[in-house]
Each structure stands twice: as structure tokens, then as C-alpha cells.
Structure 1
Amino acid sequence: MIQKFWSDESGATAIEYGLIAAGIALAIITVVNSLGVTLNDKFTSISSSLK
């Protein structure tokens, strides 16, 4: 029974796709967060120069 459990790879692909999706989501969140900070700084600079 334990041998059958260890040799069963039916869920391995789903786990791999889940890890890939999590990595892509983490990369997107990092980029969006960085972009948001940059845009906020830019709009603050523009707003200050218009005053």
C-alpha cells in the first residue's frame, strides 16, 4: 500500500501548475507594487510643480 502511494504521480502535474501559477502571481504583484510606488511619486512630483 505504501509502495502504491509513493509511485502514484497523478497529482504531481496539478501541483506543478499550482506552483508555476503562484510564482507568476508573485511576480505580477511585485511589478504592480513597484509600478504603483513609482506612479505615486511621479504624480506627487507633477502635483507639486503645478502648485
Structure 2
Amino acid sequence: MLRKFFNKARKVAQDDQGITAVEYAVLGALVAVGLVAAVPSLLAAFTAAFARIASAISGTP
């Protein structure tokens, strides 16, 4: 089964035709999943950074 996957992947990599709409959809879905996974941790980091900035400006520890 793994051999079939690698053979198919090799054929796709060697294909010199343009990207189809299905491939764009798959790529878009992967980007969306990555963004959904990254947003919570980025939000927490930004919140902490702005809290440190606000406390530095106001002079509170």
C-alpha cells in the first residue's frame, strides 16, 4: 500500500500540467486547518505581550 502511495506521489510530482481546482481546494483546506490550529497560541502570545506593554506603560508590576 505504501508503495502505491509513493508511486502516485512520484507521478503527481512529475506531472507538468497546471494545478487543478481540486488541488487548490486541498491546499486551501490545509492552510485553513493550519490557521485554525495556530490562532489560539498566537492570540495568547499577543495578549501576554500587550499585557506586559500595558503594565510597563502604567508602571504597575
TM-score range, shorter chain: 0.3 to 0.5
Greater RCO structure (CA 8 Å; 6+ sep): 2
Higher helix fraction (1 or 2): 1
Q: How high is the TM-score relative to the length of structure 1?
A: 0.48
Q: How high is the TM-score relative to the length of structure 2?
A: 0.43
